[in-house]
Amino acid sequence: MMTFRMIPALAVTLALVACSDPPPPSGAFPPNPERADALPVTLIDTVPAGQRCTITGGKSPPLTLTTPRLVALYEYGDNPVIDCFGEGFFRHRKAAHPNKSMRLSERMTLPGAIDPAFAPYPARETKSGTGDFPPWIRLRLQRNSFTSIAERDRYYAAEAQWISAAWDAIESRLKQDCQSRVTQTQGLILLDAQCKKAFRTLAERRAADRATVEINRRQSTIR
């Protein structure tokens, strides 16, 4: 049984990706979408920006774009796929999932619903499904070619550090979410079954992302 002796109260609400790059500024780039819009859109972006992505799903024809770009993801079904690529980078592909629950611990256990590439989801819409996608999705494209082994290893060490920090921020938010769903016995704080499952899922997802970083490191080439 998973137990926590203490889940510390956090004074500041952490962003889902506290260590990620900031949203692009207005003007040169599309502005961040306003959730009050009648038809909400999602900012599709890459790190680095200026890469190509294809959006597929639902009954709409595929959309090919250059990042950053505002997209009405709800036009591409319940699970639109964002497939991004660029010369010198490994291809990166993710499916976006609508927000089906108000609780992070419940969304965490859904396949791919919570990810460091996704902004924190807005409050779930009750009148329609058009606002249930995150306001932005930012895919990190990892390099596949380097001039030396040392350059490659420095680059992928930084990528691994970013992944760890991003998942740590999600874990902190999950602890906040689960604080109201614990019982105390004999001085121990016990998580409910949903939160236990959520923490296990988070650990598995974090390990999978770390493994992907290592796989890409080994598959990259030295020019």
Cβ atoms 52, 43 nearer than 8 A: no
Supply the pLDDT for residue 30.
55
d(CA 83, CA 199): 28
d(CA 42, CA 69): 8
Sequence-separated (6 or more) residues with CB below 8 Å from residue 168: none
Q: Which amino acid is at 181?
A: R
By three-state DSSP, how is residue 154 classified?
helix
- Six token digits for residue 85: 């690529």
Could you tell me which residues are beta bridge partners of residue 118? 137
Supply the pLDDT for residue 33.
54
Question: Which whole-number Å values give the CA distances from 85 to 120, 140, 141, 222, in the listed order?
Answer: 24, 10, 7, 20
pLDDT in tens, the chain (223 residues): 444 444 443 333 333 334 445 554 444 555 555 555 446 889 999 999 999 999 999 999 999 999 999 999 999 998 999 999 999 999 999 999 888 777 889 999 988 889 999 988 776 655 555 568 888 999 999 999 999 999 999 999 999 999 999 999 999 999 988 887 665 555 555 678 899 999 999 999 999 999 999 999 999 999 9
Supply the pLDDT for residue 11.
36
Supply the pLDDT for residue 98.
84
Supply the pLDDT for residue 5.
43
- Six token digits for residue 135: 């306001």
Cβ atoms 82, 94 nearer than 8 A: yes
Supply the pLDDT for residue 130.
59
Supply the pLDDT for residue 187.
53
Residue with structure tokens 């256990």?
109
